[in-house]
Structure 1
Amino acid sequence: MTSHGVRQARGVALFDLDGTLVDTNYLHTLAWWQALRQFGHQVPMARIHRAIGMGSDRLLDAVLGPQRRHSEDGAVSDAHGTLYAEWYDTLRPFDCAAELLRATAARGWRVVLASSAAEEEVAVVRKRLGADEVIEAATSGADVETTKPAPDLVETALRKVGAEPEDAVFVGDAVWDVEAAGRAGVPCIGLLTGGTSRGELEDAGAVTVYEDAATLLRHIDSSPLSRPPN
């Protein structure tokens, strides 16, 4: 109950950022590729791209292996952040991304951004989206010790607004989003804009998959975002 005795809406729509609402996955791939080269690691971009959506610790495990030099993780991650920041002025939301957030809120959902990106990156992307009036809360990688595909980030996002898994739907673009949501007991809508195939998202457990934010918006009333739980 609020201070006025009115019950808050239960339904929470969790949205990933990179590759879901903003066209950044390939920029992250390039920045990680450049950062890894600075430390002598020659890693194919295709391998890096498949790990985008994980937190930096999991990503480095995926592309370098768990036996890598862990002592350089922080420096590699910082290098990635510096290189990626060069793109800040050119970041663009996907077509209809902000409109999707507003339409979701208009149907009674509480909108939460569930991202494991750095706090600075989340702030930049929120500014680019220009939909803060409907965003109730947001996470960053600083909020959790264990990142996607672990469920911690999804669970933290729910705790921020006092919601339960049965009240929520997650929208993401990566297998790691789908797996994290599933482990937290939250159904996940997949989008293809991050470069992951429909089959991979469905195999990971996505309840439905759309081409992009604009397509989900057009079909929102026949999607899991049509109306929140009562």
Structure 2
Amino acid sequence: MAESTTPPGGPRRGVLFDVDGTLIDSSYIHTIAWWNAFRQYGHDVPMAAIHQLVGMGGARLVDTLLPDGRNRDEDEDIMASHGALYASHWPSLRTLDGAKDLLGQCHAGGLAVALASSARERDLQVMRSVLDADSFIDAATSANDAEESKPAPDILEAALEAVGVEAANAVYVGDAVWDMKAAGALGIPAIGLTCGGIQAAQLREAGAVEVFDGPRQLLQNLGSSAIGRLLALQPHRQEG
């Protein structure tokens, strides 16, 4: 095996971003889509219970919320119903305040930027269109890129590989407990955002090293954040 070489200025560094609830204001849309999908198949699951699991992969979410004795043949249909119901809300999707600027600042600082999302490919493409920040994004993952969904770290591993960044040189930004756990499995510092509706204490308990209200507040405190420490190591970084 050939020895790896370190590029001038040190190893490549990067930031991985969850998308749903982190950059796009979609967590509660997912909640109501799941709620209606469950009801279509006779399952009355409280919205609060659903919301706590948004960010998990669909199969894992269904298996966690529904009883063991259910007709599992319906699981795929429930997930398909959720997908269709969520898609009906595509026109309502909005970027969270500061999201595009945050991606742009990380990119301008010389960091690789990857979207580490477990969303369906077509949902991801819609969200990328809403973000309108492709010039700042080096790579993106979807559910197609992982065998296991969060809290398993497969999606993060795929995103790291896509941008050529080692876990030791990365930071992850997400809004769910499952994001924090996935990052922790790889030893990646995770920044939690409460804009997805999960409380700061829950994110910290799950492993977040820092917690902010949303992309704008993280951007305003970028220099003192875990991302700022990566930026400080970058040669010739742009100030702005």
**Length-normalised TM-score, structure 2:** 0.90
Aligned residues: 226
- What does residue 56 of structure 1 align with? 58
Q: Distance in 1 between matches of 2:20 and 2:55?
A: 7
Q: Distance in 1 between matches of 2:156 and 2:166?
A: 10
Contact in 2 for aligned 1:109/1:227 (Cα 8 Å): no
Contact in 2 for aligned 1:9/1:108 (Cα 8 Å): no
Secondary structure of the residue aligned to 1:36 is helix
Instruction: Give the letter aligned to residue 219 of structure 1.
Output: N
Aligned residue among 18, 36, 39 for 1:37: 39
Q: Percent identity?
A: 48
- What does residue 226 of structure 1 align with? 228
Secondary structure of the residue aligned to 2:34 is helix
Please list every run of 5 or more consecutive structure 1 residues that lacks an aligned counterpart in the other structure. Answer: none
Secondary structure of the residue aligned to 1:148 is coil
Aligned residue among 145, 168, 171 for 2:170: 168
Q: CA deviation at 1:61?
A: 1.7
Alignment of 1:140-219 (within 5 A): 140-219=142-221
Contact in 1 for aligned 2:11/2:169 (Cα 8 Å): no
Q: CA offsets per residue over residues 123-157 of structure 1, 9 Å max, x none?
A: 00000000000100001111111100011111111
Instruction: Give the letter aligned to residue 196 of structure 1.
Output: I
Q: Distance in 2 between matches of 1:71 and 1:146?
A: 20
Secondary structure of the residue aligned to 1:209 is strand
Aligned residue among 95, 107, 110 for 1:108: 110
Instruction: Give the letter aligned to residue 106 of structure 2.
Output: T
Change in CA separation of 1:36 and 1:116 when aligned onto 2, cut-off 3 Å: same
Q: Distance in 2 between matches of 1:7 and 1:225?
A: 17
Q: Distance in 1 between matches of 2:124 and 2:205?
A: 29
Whether 1:22 and 2:8 are equivalent positions in the alignment is: no
Q: Distance in 2 between matches of 1:66 and 1:212?
A: 36
- What does residue 14 of structure 2 align with? 12
Whether 1:127 and 2:160 are equivalent positions in the alignment is: no
Q: Distance in 2 between matches of 1:197 and 1:90?
A: 24
Q: CA offsets per residue over residues 155-211 of structure 1, 9 Å max, x none?
A: 111111222110110000000000001002211000000111111111111000001
Secondary structure of the residue aligned to 1:149 is coil
Instruction: Give the letter aligned to residue 161 of structure 2.
Output: R
Change in CA separation of 1:134 and 1:58 when aligned onto 2, cut-off 3 Å: same
Q: Distance in 2 between matches of 1:59 and 1:8?
A: 40
Secondary structure of the residue aligned to 1:225 is helix
